[in-house]
Structure 1
Amino acid sequence: MSTGQARWMRHPPHFRPIVVVFVVAALLTVVSPDPAVQAMAEVTVDGRPNIILITSDDQRLSDMWMMDNVRTLIGDAGTTFDNFYAPFPLCCPARASIMTGQNAHNHRVLDNAAPLGGFAALDGSSTVATWLQDAGYRTAFAGKYLNHYGEKPVKVPPGWADWHGIVGGGDYFDTRVFENGVPRQYTGVYQTDLFGDISSDVITASAAGDAPFFLWSSFFAPHSGTPVEPDDPKPALGYNMNTPAVAPRHRDDFANLAFPQDPSYNEADVSDKPSDVRNRPPLSPLAQAAITENYQQRLEALLALDEAVAKMMSALEATGERDNTIVIFTTDNGFMLGEHRISAGKTVPYEASAQLPFLIRGPGVPVGESREQLAALIDLAPTFVDLAGTQAGLAMDGVSLLPMLANPQFGRNRKLLVEAGPDALGEPMAYSGVHTSQWLYVEYDGGDQELYDMQADPFQLQSLHADPAYDDQQAQLAAVLAVLRYCTGPTCRGAPLPPVGLSRLTPDVLGRGAAAVEVVGTGQGLQPGSTFAVEGVGVTVAPDAAITSDARVVLHVSVAATATFGLRDVIVTNPDGSTAQCTGCFRVGSVPTISSVAPASRGQGAQNQTITVTGTDFAADASVSILGTGVTILSQAVQSENTVTLALRVTTSAAVGRRTLTVTNGDGASATAEFAINPGPKPTSASPPVAAGKTQLVTVSGTNFVSGAGLKVRVASPGFTVGTPSAVTATSVQVQVRVPATAGPGSYKLVVINPDGGQGSCPGCLVVP
């Protein structure tokens, strides 16, 4: 709902993965040259302002009505942003965006747990903490960091000079804190009060130094936690009804408060919603009672946080640093309580989940004003960098809020990207979308879509995605989303993409008959959804183009057998209608032919046989392969465009029969011919025995003997002489064998080699008595 959900008057589902885009036409810069902003910079930068960021956890924007201290001490004394959003409405991805100024697809923290998220997924070596510390700030942290922080070994993350991080967490009365290298257990102390005290002490200690300080006080309230209390709602089948633990002084302060149901509560008709919502039944009376109890306890938990903020502001006042300190209050994500039949949770793109409170006060901040421009958690780090007069250590996707504070009209047409998913459980409903000052358009991975006119339908009751009257509007938003889905740095901030261009294909030559060959294109300004075509007939580009960045695409290209040889132009068309032509950057090459393979067969057991393939159009990078197992090509060489030679080996167990020999040019064009494997000789015996120093006619028996000039018989020992084979049949061959006088008695191995190179051996066949 716009204008801060009627200024504090609005209230996770089982959704997970997601991406949404909110819409601005002007390019936003991280540090602004606007004169009004420069005046603000003089106030803040010259004095090196202290910066305090106070965050709650899972707080709804509609909860702000009861936080009197936050509204009075920060909001009334400064400026409230009415349209502030979580770029990924889930704890760890949102907190990583605070730390880096990046969307989740860039900082890569995509969930609350490994392998896609949690503390381990964040690269802590370059964050707002390290940048401000390098700029001379005394940095401090107190409270909840990223989920699973504290799993051994426990360390202080880079950039924090004063560290008080919760280890584990979840119990409001038994908190383990890793404090500057020392673990401490606080039992019996209400956690929100504990971190109100720690934060106040940090303010006092930090203000005593000469350097400006940066403090992030990260409270756990009103997130659900233990211990379980007697008035907690009983679990309702299929619903998450976990509640926060409440400080004893505030128990039942809101016990009689009715839950303020907006029109989206327990929505009657969800047929326009994505599958995860439209498949939900209406909320049962038991679930609705539990939602009311959850709402009451969440407010009671926030009372202690409101008091903690007051205590921190008192400490700041006591140090004399109040007027030189930027103080911000916000949260990591919202929380669903029955809207669209979603009883509890976050991560979805609906307002209760994604829209956040954001209040800021301090030097140069307008007092008692509000801003309607879209802003998000990714804008915090750029704002801190701007205030500190330093530079970020990586490309930030967000913008400094100082120009918006200085000029209520600045960035009113801004585009914002919000994304989520996938999560470690692989849950469905990943989405991406566009949120503008008027529209919310969402695309889900499963194919569902949503389109809302946020001005006419602030409670998101009727999606217009299936209404033909809005096709043009939806197409425009889809084009914006195509740009922002993979944006980095300036492109996320509304900067135009470089003009589309395609400069090179690799490989840039394919022959006739090439089928679905992978071709990598490089260029600039490529967008998801871009289409590619090769000029002329006979060359097709599959529609599965994979845009891996705005400068790289992977294509699958096929060339018909009748395609005309020669250079072709390649044309790319982006979803936004822009086109580019890469002149002559692709060529249809000629196709090799095979006229002969000599010899065209070899026998089983053949060793190091030379084969010559003759034909036409063999490329210098041509390669030869023979189908099937048992044949090894030892070496090959292209002698000319008409000749390829290779050496091969055939195992004795290779399958007998015809094989396909293929010559393939480097561009994918190929030719085939037949090659055969013949049965190899298999000698089994030899007789009679031959005495040492004697010559004897020996008959070798076996199978698969082939007559011819190339038939040979060998004795696999030195000194033996074997004559030319005679009386050759398929099962026997006769040879004169002379045994050297020095041969000792024993059995010797005979080897028979057929004219086709096939070899067979008979160990111990020849006997010397």
Structure 2
Amino acid sequence: MKQAISVLAALALAQGIIGEKDQQKPNIIFIMSDDQDRQLGSLDYMPVLQKELVAKGVEFENHFGTVSNCCPSRASFLRGQAAHSTNITHVRPPGGNYDKWRIAKEDLNYLPHWIKKAGYQAEYIGKFMNGYSQVNYHIPPKGWDHVDALLEPYINDYNNVVMSQNGERPVQYRGFHSTDVVRIKALDRLDRLIDAGESYFLAIMPYAPHVGGQNPPTPQARHADMFTDIHAPRFANWNPPDEIQQGKSVFLKDMVRMDSEKEAAADALFRGRIQSLQGIDEIIEDVLAKLEDKGGLENTYIIFTSDNGYHIGAHRLPGGKALPYIQDTNLPLVVRGPGMPQGVKSKVASAHLDFAPTFLDIMGLPQTEWPELLDGRSLLADWADPVPMANVEIGSAKEIINIEFWGDKIIEVPQWDRVPLTNNSYKTLRIVSEESSWMYVTWCTNEIELYNTTADPWEINNLARKTITMPHQNLINRLNALLMVTKSCTKSVCRDPWSALQPPSAVKRIASLTDAMAPDYDDFYANIPKVHFERCMMYQDEANEMPFYPEGAELDLGKAYRADTDNWVSSQPGNATVEGNSVPAGSVEQRHASLDDLMRDVHVLTDEETLVSVPQV
């Protein structure tokens, strides 16, 4: 009873209906790093995050990205939808980018519009979406009360920072490092928001620890000599031998083992990432200090996550993302906020598409006013009660995670030829529960893989190769059925895929994989159509991915909530035309630089420096 009361109290606090601050709803500060792993242990190298968020909040160990790639993951976060619903499926044409997002008119109905409907100020600092650049900056992301975004093609160069504020002409911030610029600007906006005394949502989106082009990320100068003796962890999937690698699919089964040079490059990449994360830890430190100083900490949710994960050395790949495996898809998520317990690690499963409804729940917007397009569910009750005593509740999809991908994959180390690996489209299903956990994937070549992730956490023993045992075949039939639904679903069906998979002979509602495994249902699940691709393509194509389930689901796929983008044309940012810092920025002296310091030496880009676009069909 005591636990139930505490949960109700936390929910009431979140909705601003009890306590001293009931005239002001909780604020939300959302910090998203770029390409940060969870499985490689990067959080262990962030002492402030550990001390102030992990120890004073909840770390969710089973949070996943909807797509393991920047632009589609951010679109899913911003719309609360699966990637097959947004149709933003890659970081560049033909799959997607900022131009496709606009052409689809998805920017007319997404997170900031809903935040403002709830009565909040909505602000955004840092990376927005791939393709927002020096040539389309004048069409800023819609809905935000204030948006100050990093621009391509400069975004890859940590020492050449160019941003546009509210669609104004791009400005270069000379002598500063990208992460410091985002920190300084975010702290200035936080000052203003706190002083205004209104409820707010502030997104802080640094570029670290993303690679700088094909090179490791460039840390601030004050961090460049840290962690010089560390190496990437050698888990069971690190550069595996032939007997393991040959259980993989597509290009992976033919990958050559990394030699010593590739392994050294992987270690250098790991060190650069850890060094670059120190600047994000400083962002967390300064945000918390300002909230503490101004009295807003107890009424603010601080959420830390990343857009997608990252692998180093796994499956013979020295660096990159975009694969269905655990290192690419399992993401950091740490939350500290009103009424939440402290120092808790939670197994509750969630995905990026769940953030938008969670924020609306926190903000107290009645569900009758939520956008109907949402595929995700609110996590607020799980945040308040992150270690529930009961099993997965009836009718929920908390054990089911769907991850998709369309297009190619790049290996992100300089010693490797930058040749896209094109047969990298897939549909993935994860079952994440205390009873059992599985990963099942169908590739665009129609090869399948199955892993018992309880016994095989690094996903090296493919149970769907060679002779498949009858118990595993029965399991595959259930997982394929779930994957058919989750790759086809929208709205309530995404939140409860079992609703579409009820055998006529069932004597009770099927609500979990355990329920579905009863032998009486073998024939029903065996007769569900198989997930299938005609061929490997670079973008989502309904005809290529038939069939869908239930029959007719292909008529939905979120199309009612976005405009047609057939034959869309993307702008191209061209080359960087202004030079970056001659000396690496981010010195000790700049650790606490102010906005005034930042603005002392800026360059406003000229017409000639911005109009360098070549349209691409």
TM-score range, shorter chain: 0.7 to 0.9
Quote the residue 2:463 is aligned against: 464
Rg (Cα) greater in structure:
1
Please give the residue correspondences for 1:209-248 in structure 2 after superposition, counting only pairs within 5 Å: 209-225=196-212, 242-248=215-221
Quote the residue 1:114 is aligned against: 93
**Residues 499 and 111 from structure 1, CA distance in 2 versus in 1: closer, same or farther, beyond 3 angstroms?**
closer
Quote the residue 1:552 is aligned against: 552
Quote the residue 1:333 is aligned against: 308
Quote the residue 1:51 is aligned against: 28
Displacement, 1:103? Answer: 0.8
**Residues 548 and 464 from structure 1, CA distance in 2 versus in 1: closer, same or farther, beyond 3 angstroms?**
closer
Please give the residue correspondences for 1:469-618 in structure 2 after superposition, counting only pairs within 5 Å: 469-494=471-496, 496-497=498-499, 529=529, 547=547, 550=550, 552=552
Residue 187 of structure 2 is aligned with which of 195, 200, 205?
A: 200
Displacement, 1:308? Answer: 1.8
Please give the residue correspondences for 1:634-645 in structure 2 after superposition, counting only pairs within 5 Å: none
Quote the residue 1:420 is aligned against: 405
Q: Deviations over 1:14-53 (max 9, x none)?
A: xxxxxxxxxxxxxxxxxxxx87654322101114111010
**Residues 174 and 399 from structure 1, CA distance in 2 versus in 1: closer, same or farther, beyond 3 angstroms?**
same
TM-score by length of 2: 0.72
Q: Deviations over 1:557-590 (max 9, x none)?
A: xxxxxxxxxxxxxxxxxxxxxxxxxxxxxxxxxx
Displacement, 1:441? Answer: 0.8
Displacement, 1:253? Answer: 1.0
Extract structure 1 runs of 4+ deviating beyond 6 A. Answer: none
Q: Deviations over 1:269-294 (max 9, x none)?
A: 31111131110011011100111111
Asked if structure 2 preserves the Cα contact closer than 8 Å seen for 1:429 and 1:446, the reply is no
User: Would you say 1:251 and 2:224 are equivalent positions?
Assistant: yes
Please give the residue correspondences for 1:359-758 in structure 2 after superposition, counting only pairs within 5 Å: 359-390=334-365, 391-407=369-385, 408-409=387-388, 412=392, 414-422=399-407, 427-437=422-432, 438-466=437-465, 467-468=468-469, 469-494=471-496, 496-497=498-499, 529=529, 547=547, 550=550, 552=552
The amino acid of 2:378's aligned partner reads: S
The amino acid of 1:167's aligned partner reads: L
Question: What runs of 5+ residues in structure 2 fail to find an aligned partner?
Answer: 17-23, 393-397, 410-419, 504-526, 532-543, 555-617
Cα separation, 1, equivalents of 2:128 and 2:269: 24
User: Would you say 1:260 and 2:247 are equivalent positions?
Assistant: no
Cα separation, 2, equivalents of 1:394 and 1:420: 24
The amino acid of 1:220's aligned partner reads: Y
Cα separation, 2, equivalents of 1:194 and 1:456: 44
Displacement, 1:546? Answer: 5.2
The amino acid of 2:248's aligned partner reads: K
Displacement, 1:265? Answer: 0.4
The amino acid of 1:103's aligned partner reads: A
Question: What runs of 5+ residues in structure 1 fail to find an aligned partner?
Answer: 1-33, 227-240, 502-526, 532-543, 555-769
Quote the residue 2:277 is aligned against: 302
Structure 2 counterpart SS, 1:457 = coil
The amino acid of 1:529's aligned partner reads: P
User: Would you say 1:42 and 2:19 are equivalent positions?
Assistant: no
Residue 148 of structure 2 is aligned with which of 119, 142, 164?
A: 164
Asked if structure 1 preserves the Cα contact closer than 8 Å seen for 2:73 and 2:352, the reply is yes
Asked if structure 2 preserves the Cα contact closer than 8 Å seen for 1:547 and 1:553, the reply is no
Structure number with greater CO (CA < 8 Å, separation at least 6) is 2
Displacement, 1:120? Answer: 1.8
Quote the residue 2:557 is aligned against: none
**Residues 368 and 153 from structure 1, CA distance in 2 versus in 1: closer, same or farther, beyond 3 angstroms?**
closer
Cα separation, 1, equivalents of 2:31 and 2:460: 33
Q: Deviations over 1:334-391 (max 9, x none)?
A: 1111111011111101111111110000102211112102111111111101101124
The amino acid of 1:126's aligned partner reads: N
Structure 1 counterpart SS, 2:429 = strand
Cα separation, 2, equivalents of 1:549 and 1:422: 23
TM-score by length of 1: 0.58
Please give the residue correspondences for 1:313-332 in structure 2 after superposition, counting only pairs within 5 Å: 313-332=288-307
Cα separation, 2, equivalents of 1:499 and 1:248: 55
The amino acid of 1:108's aligned partner reads: N
Structure 2 counterpart SS, 1:356 = coil
Displacement, 1:429? Answer: 2.5
Cα separation, 1, equivalents of 2:545 and 2:402: 23
**Residues 441 and 545 from structure 1, CA distance in 2 versus in 1: closer, same or farther, beyond 3 angstroms?**
closer
Q: Deviations over 1:389-419 (max 9, x none)?
A: 1243242121111122233236745212111
**Residues 470 and 324 from structure 1, CA distance in 2 versus in 1: closer, same or farther, beyond 3 angstroms?**
same
Displacement, 1:549? Answer: 6.6
Asked if structure 1 preserves the Cα contact closer than 8 Å seen for 2:428 and 2:439, the reply is yes
Equivalent residues, number:
470
Displacement, 1:74? Answer: 1.4
Cα separation, 1, equivalents of 2:488 and 2:208: 33
Structure 2 counterpart SS, 1:174 = coil
Displacement, 1:258? Answer: 2.7
Q: Percent identity?
A: 28
Asked if structure 2 preserves the Cα contact closer than 8 Å seen for 1:145 and 1:218, the reply is yes
Cα separation, 2, equivalents of 1:311 and 1:294: 27
Quote the residue 2:517 is aligned against: none
Structure 1 counterpart SS, 2:108 = coil
**Residues 129 and 423 from structure 1, CA distance in 2 versus in 1: closer, same or farther, beyond 3 angstroms?**
farther
Structure 2 counterpart SS, 1:404 = helix
Cα separation, 1, equivalents of 2:232 and 2:70: 25
Cα separation, 2, equivalents of 1:249 and 1:422: 38
Residue 174 of structure 2 is aligned with which of 159, 184, 187?
A: 187
Cα separation, 1, equivalents of 2:264 and 2:187: 38
Displacement, 1:530? Answer: 8.7
Residue 132 of structure 2 is aligned with which of 131, 149, 152?
A: 149
Q: Deviations over 1:205-250 (max 9, x none)?
A: 0011232000110010011116xxxxxxxxxxxxxx5211121111
Cα separation, 2, equivalents of 1:37 and 1:381: 21
Cα separation, 2, equivalents of 1:433 and 1:135: 34
Cα separation, 2, equivalents of 1:37 and 1:382: 18
Cα separation, 1, equivalents of 2:335 and 2:160: 32
Cα separation, 1, equivalents of 2:408 and 2:111: 25
The amino acid of 1:399's aligned partner reads: R
Displacement, 1:199? Answer: 0.9
**Residues 185 and 546 from structure 1, CA distance in 2 versus in 1: closer, same or farther, beyond 3 angstroms?**
closer
Displacement, 1:319? Answer: 1.9
**Residues 325 and 434 from structure 1, CA distance in 2 versus in 1: closer, same or farther, beyond 3 angstroms?**
same
Q: Deviations over 1:401-457 (max 9, x none)?
A: 112223323674521211111359792121112111211011111021111111100
Asked if structure 1 preserves the Cα contact closer than 8 Å seen for 2:403 and 2:428, the reply is yes
Residue 267 of structure 2 is aligned with which of 265, 270, 292?
A: 292
Asked if structure 2 preserves the Cα contact closer than 8 Å seen for 1:37 and 1:402, the reply is no
Displacement, 1:259? Answer: 2.6
Cα separation, 2, equivalents of 1:436 and 1:57: 25
Displacement, 1:154? Answer: 2.0
**Residues 130 and 284 from structure 1, CA distance in 2 versus in 1: closer, same or farther, beyond 3 angstroms?**
same
Q: Is the deviation greater in 429-438 or in 351-360?
A: 429-438
The amino acid of 2:273's aligned partner reads: R
Structure 2 counterpart SS, 1:441 = strand
